[in-house]
Amino acid sequence: MEWSTRSNAAESSMESSKIRGLVAATVTPMKENGEINLSVIGKYVDYLLNVQGVRIVFVNGTTAEGLSLTTEERKQLAEEWVKQAVGKLDQVIVHVGSLCLKEAQELAAHAAEIKAGAISVVAPSFLKPPNKDALISFLREVAAAAPSVPFYYYHIPKLTGITTIRMEDLLVGIKSKIPTFQGVKFSDTDLLDFGQCVHKYESEKFTFLYGVDEQLLGALAMGAHGAIGSV
């Protein structure tokens, strides 16, 4: 898919849908037999909105065990969240990362089709990208499958095992490689790297969402724009 299909309208809608504040990392509702339980997502939305006051959700991520679900289950969940969010939540961010590039692209294209507010992608973690260029190249190909959907890199080195690529370095020139890039879901305890990102890229207007709940106060002090978490 070509980047040239993106329009100025897409650019300005990305600008206006910037994520701020708290984002709920959702769990995947299951039935006792292990099937996904789509029927409770409507109530889940109401609970987050009315009891917790949260208006943005992160679907099929770590808390949801998204990487352990089938592609079809991930699509059904994303679809149901988007459907139930209409008129209630501000945004549904769908995690579309996978070890398989084609699967990640399929999920990204699906997220675009169902009009998810944003997509997020973790790095492949079995055969790992050996350097930042290889990682960017993977992310770029996934993002290109949803050329109008804001893109957030999901940095979680503890789980991906990719511990040598600092975010501060990864982000150099990233917008020219991934035009839909909007920011990072930063789930690492390295607050120095986090703070460097926030300040070094201030003029780029990226969004930095922190993902280690236990250190959120520290991240806020460093300038976090919001947080994606479960606690």
Report the catalytic residues.
154, 185
Structure tokens at 13: 């809608």
Q: Which stretch binds ligand SI3 (CB under 6 A): 41-49, 98-106, 173-181, 205-213?
A: 205-213
The site string for ligand SI3 over 6-25 (x = CB under 6 A, - otherwise) reads: -------------------x
How buried is 197 (Cβ within 10 angstroms: 0-12 exposed, 13-18 middle, 19+ buried)?
buried
Residue 166 CA to chain centroid, in angstroms? 18
User: Of 118, 172, 108, 162, which Cα lies nearest the Cα of 139?
Assistant: 108
Please tell me whether residue 96 binds ligand SI3 under the rule CB under 6 A: no
The nearer residue to ligand SI3, 165 or 228, going by C-beta atoms, is 228
Helical ranges in the chain per DSSP H: 8-16, 41-46, 71-85, 101-113, 132-143, 157-160, 167-170, 174-177, 191-200, 216-221
Please tell me whether residue 61 binds ligand SI3 under the rule CB under 6 A: yes
The site string for ligand SI3 over 138-167 (x = CB under 6 A, - otherwise) reads: ------------------------------
Please tell me whether residue 58 binds ligand SI3 under the rule CB under 6 A: yes
Q: Are 224 and 230 in contact (CB under 8 A)?
A: no
Give the binding-site size for ligand SI3 (rule: CB under 6 A).
15
Which 185-204 positions form the footprint of ligand SI3 (CB under 6 A)?
187
Please tell me whether residue 124 binds ligand SI3 under the rule CB under 6 A: no
Q: Are 95 and 60 in contact (CB under 8 A)?
A: yes
How crowded is the C-beta side of 182, counted as CA atoms within 13 Å? 29
DSSP lists the bridge partners of residue 25 as 58
Residue 12 three-state SS: helix
Please tell me whether residue 119 binds ligand SI3 under the rule CB under 6 A: no
Of the candidates 212, 219, 222, 224, which one interacts with ligand SI3 according to CB under 6 A? Answer: 212
Please tell me whether residue 211 binds ligand SI3 under the rule CB under 6 A: yes
- Alpha-carbon gap, residue 57 to 81, rounded angstroms: 9
The nearer residue to ligand SI3, 129 or 157, going by C-beta atoms, is 157
Of the candidates 28, 63, 160, 182, which one interacts with ligand SI3 according to CB under 6 A? Answer: 63
The nearer residue to ligand SI3, 128 or 177, going by C-beta atoms, is 128
Q: Are 23 and 228 in contact (CB under 8 A)?
A: yes
Please tell me whether residue 45 binds ligand SI3 under the rule CB under 6 A: no
Please tell me whether residue 231 binds ligand SI3 under the rule CB under 6 A: yes
> Which residues have C-beta within 8 Å of that of residue 203, sequence separation ≥ 6?
none
Task: Note the residues at the interface with ligand SI3 (CB under 6 A).
Answer: 25, 58, 61-64, 187, 211-214, 228-231
